[in-house]
Every structure is written in C-alpha cells, then in structure tokens.
C-alpha cells in the first residue's frame, strides 16, 4: 500500500451533523480531525475489507461494495472514513450515532463484521495497533471510586428506561430458553430458568447463607429468598438498590434479604454460596485477582460459587485489553470481558478456587438481546418522553445490535461457571 504524504493538503473542514446536541454529544456532532493520510489509509483498508465480505455496502447511494448480503448504507462516505481514520472502531460507532451510515438490518451487518473480526485488518497493520488505538482513560480503572462512577454511568440512567424494554422480572442478563425463536411472553420464564439454574449450581436452599455480588433489580434475591435462603446482596447503583428493596418488600421477603450499597471489596462475613451474574465484566483485568480473592475469602468451607459471565476468545481479549473501545466510551466504562483461560489463570494464581463446571449458552443471549432490541425500538416514543434524545436511541440501538451480533457470530459467549475449592463435602 502506498500513500503519498508529501505536501498533502489539509482535510476539508468538518461539517456538523444536523439535529445532534453538541453539548451532549460533542464527539458525535462533528467528525474529529484526521490527517489526509490516516483517512486515506482507513478508506483503503475498509474498502478492501468490505469487498470480500458477504454484505452490500452502498456508498452515497451510488457505489456498491461487497459480495452481497445485508445492506450497509454509508450515506456520508467522507465523514465515515474520516471517523475511522481518526478513531478506529470508536469512530465506526460514532458514525452510526451521527446517522452517517445505517442499515435496515444492523444485526446482520454487524454479525458479518464480527464473524470476520480477526481478519478484517491486515496483520501488518494489526501490529501497529499500539500506535493508533486509544488507551483506556485512567479514570475508568476499577478502583473503588472508579467502579462507583462506572456503574452509575450505566445503571443509574433511569429505572424507567430499563423497564421499557426488559420483562417484568427486570432481569438484565442472558435468559435461558427452551427453544428458538423465542416469543416475548416467554422471557420471564426463561429468566427464572436461568436464575434457578444458577441457584441450583450454588446449592441454594432452605437455610443457605447466600452472598450476591451485583443486585440488579433484585429478582435473583427474591427467588433465593423464596427457597428459604438468607441473602446479602451488594450493588453500587443507588437506582437499582432502591427499586430492588421495593420489589423485595412487595414480594414479602424483606426479612430474608439485605440489599447494601457496597463495593465487593468491602464485604465481610462468610457465606455458604456466592452468586454473581454478569458482574465480572465490570471489574477490569487489573482487579480480577482482587475479585476472585474476595470470593475465596468470603466462601465458607464446602461452599460453592456460581458465576454468569460473558466471555470472549483469549487471544482477542489479550490483544485489546488496554484499548479504549466504543462500548467503554458510551455504554460500560471500565468494562472488559474475560476469557475462560483468564479465569482459570487468575483463580489458579491467586486463590484456592477452581472452575469445576463451565456451561455455554451464547445463542440464548442472542435471543435475549433480540427481544430487548425489538422492544426498545417499539418504545421509541416512551424513550423520548423520558428525556432521551434521538442520538441516545441510535446509540442504544447500536449497543443492543452490536451485542446481539457478537453472540450470533460466536465471537462472544456467555457461561455458567461453578467454582469450588475442592473442600466440598
């Protein structure tokens, strides 16, 4: 690849995208500065990648690239390539938020891209990743202060917003279905099936002293209390804490469940069982040893830990663990998905815990996300009424579609892991 760099003229001025609040979305309203070289390289690489993929990329309504498949309508190619040249995959997501590209089937387009993620960029350029990829901001590290801010950014958005697209259980994690495709009416039962499977893994029953790390909106704690367990559940989200307490009280289990606004590192006591649902993703690799040591320290002899964790391939996790991503910037600050290998390594190096069982059900998460995404789209007017603008809706749609595509392609997985010390009776 050769790109002439001598005496390159300055790139054309950036044109603000119409209808986007510049104070709320400063990095979306206008494509960021990018040198002509970076933009040209980005365009060359992206065009080559699209040309060999089973999709149809239409540029400005005139030029089609690709082997055929779901339509990717690139309405403003200049802004699209400029954003990718400046910010890589962050720019790709921001370009969607700005309406510079769209699709009648965003999940289809993103599934094709996720399926080819390891080969989209030539190896020669992948080796240069440290030179162009943004580094994670220090403020997003999973320190106690950072963790509070990271969790609040997402989970304190609005309980009413989450209620618009979640089912009546307010469960915000993968459900477990009996078959596909799943109907929306089946989602509550599928969420209960998932919860019961975790509680069974952890051996939760009458008299069990259970610790839950990551309360959500309280459904697992309610279900555990219904089995006769006593539950201590911790969260860093005030919004979730308040609604979870209300729901637990309404269910008649206030005397059996204690919901605390508390960091996992500050938990005391000893517990027969520990359950944590899709919370490890928010911990950060630097604090995985602390997280698993906490589980080990809080677990009584003979106890069991049941985790639900989203995972990704080990090589991709290691390649991108220090990179700042679109998801981290806009959806889950400080988040990082572990690999199964990373969990094995950290527990072996820092605890007496070992993964005794690991069950995969990624296709179920794809179905869960589809139902959430469709419901979110149907509730657009109600989302607006809560004060969330059109750019937020595009951002949230991209997040749900992006996540669904990850599971449909097999790039992402979700697992139930049983951890024990080997002292189980």
The pLDDT tens digits for 79-113 are 999 999 999 999 999 999 999 999 999 999 999 99
The DSSP result for 305-334, as a single string, is EEEEEEE--HHHHHHHTTB--HHHHHT-TT
Buried b (16+ CB within 10 A) or exposed e, 148-166: bebbeebbebebebbebbb
Q: Give the SS3 label for residue 174.
A: coil
Sheet with 101-102, strands from edge to edge, namely 63-65, 56-59, 71-74, 101-102
Beta-bridged to residue 311, according to DSSP, are 413
- Predicted pLDDT at 422: 77
Residue limits of CATH 3.40.50.150 in the chain: 139-420
pLDDT in tens, 174-216: 999 999 999 999 999 999 999 999 999 999 999 999 999 999 9
Encode pLDDT of 218-248 as tens digits: 999 999 999 999 999 999 999 999 999 999 9
Q: Tell me what percent of the residues of the chain surpass a pLDDT of 70.
A: 91
pLDDT of residue 109: 98
pLDDT band of residue 4 (cuts 50, 70, 90) is very low
Q: What is the mean pLDDT of residues 390-400?
A: 98
State the average pLDDT for the chain.
Answer: 92
- For residue 387, what are the contacts with CB-CB under 8 A and spacing of at least 6? none
**Which residues lie closer than 8 Å to 303 by C-beta, 6 or more apart?**
271, 272, 273, 274, 420, 421, 424
Give the per-residue pLDDT at 320: 84
Predicted pLDDT of residue 15: 59
Domain 139-420, second-level architecture: 3-Layer(aba) Sandwich (3.40)
**β partners of residue 276:** 307
Span 363-376, pLDDT tens digits: 999 999 999 999 99
State whether residue 76 is helix, strand or coil. Answer: coil
319 CB-near residues (< 8 Å, 6+ apart):
126, 129
pLDDT score at 16: 61
Question: Using omega within 30 degrees of 0 as the cis cutoff, is the peptide bond preceding 181 cis?
Answer: yes
- Residues with Cβ < 8 Å from 101, sequence gap 6 or more? 72, 73, 74, 75, 76, 80, 95
- The pTM of this model reads 0.92
Q: Check residue 31 and give its pLDDT.
A: 87
Residue 124 pLDDT level (bands cut at 50, 70, 90): low
pLDDT of residue 8: 34
Q: Quote the radius of gyration of the chain (alpha carbons, Å).
A: 23
Vertex 78, ends 23 and 331: CA angle to 5°?
A: 40
Q: Does the pLDDT value for residue 17 go beyond 80?
A: no
95/43 Cα distance (integer angstroms): 14
Nearest to 373 by CA among 138, 25, 110, 151: 110
């Amino acid at each position: 690849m050769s790109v002439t760099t001598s005496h390159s003229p300055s790139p054309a001025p950036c044109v603000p995208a119409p209808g986007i609040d510049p104070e709320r979305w400063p990095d979306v309203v206008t494509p960021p500065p990018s040198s002509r070289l970076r933009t040209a390289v980005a365009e060359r690489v992206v065009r080559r990648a699209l040309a060999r993929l089973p999709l149809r990329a239409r540029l400005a309504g005139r030029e089609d690239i690709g082997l055929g498949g779901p339509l990717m309508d690139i309405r403003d190619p200049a802004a699209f390539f400029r954003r990718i040249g400046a910010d890589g995959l962050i720019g790709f997501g921001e370009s969607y938020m700005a309406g510079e590209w769209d699709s009648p089937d965003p999940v289809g387009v993103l599934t094709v891209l996720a399926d080819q993620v390891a080969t989209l960029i030539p190896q020669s350029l992948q080796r240069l990743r440290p030179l162009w990829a943004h580094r994670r901001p220090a403020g997003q590290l999973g320190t106690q202060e950072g963790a509070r801010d990271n969790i609040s950014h997402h989970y304190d958005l609005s309980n009413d917003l989450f209620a618009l697209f979640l089912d009546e259980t307010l469960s915000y994690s993968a459900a477990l279905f009996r078959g596909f495709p799943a109907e929306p009416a089946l989602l509550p039962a599928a969420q209960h099936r998932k919860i019961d499977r975790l509680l069974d893994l952890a051996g939760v029953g009458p008299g069990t002293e259970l610790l839950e790390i990551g309360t959500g909106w309280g459904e697992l704690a309610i279900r555990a209390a219904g089995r006769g367990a006593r539950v201590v559940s911790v969260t860093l989200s005030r919004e979730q804490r308040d609604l979870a307490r209300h729901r637990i009280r309404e269910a008649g289990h206030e005397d059996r469940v204690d919901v605390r606004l508390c960091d996992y590192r500050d938990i005391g006591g000893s517990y027969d069982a520990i359950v944590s649902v899709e919370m490890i993703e928010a911990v950060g690799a630097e604090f995985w040893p602390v997280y698993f040591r906490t589980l080990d320290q809080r677990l009584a002899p003979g106890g069991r830990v049941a985790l639900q964790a989203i995972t990704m391939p080990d090589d991709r996790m290691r390649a991108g663990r220090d990179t700042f991503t679109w998801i981290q910037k806009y959806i889950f600050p400080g988040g990082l998905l572990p690999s199964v290998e990373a969990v094995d390594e950290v527990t072996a190096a820092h605890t007496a815990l070992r993964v005794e069982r690991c069950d995969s059900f990624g296709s179920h998460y794809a179905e869960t996300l589809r139902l959430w995404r469709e419901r979110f789209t149907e509730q657009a007017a109600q989302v607006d009424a809560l004060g969330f603008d059109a750019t937020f809706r595009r951002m949230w749609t991209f997040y749900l579609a992006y996540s669904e595509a990850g599971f449909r392609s097999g790039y992402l997985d979700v697992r139930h892991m049983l951890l024990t010390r080997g002292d189980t009776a």
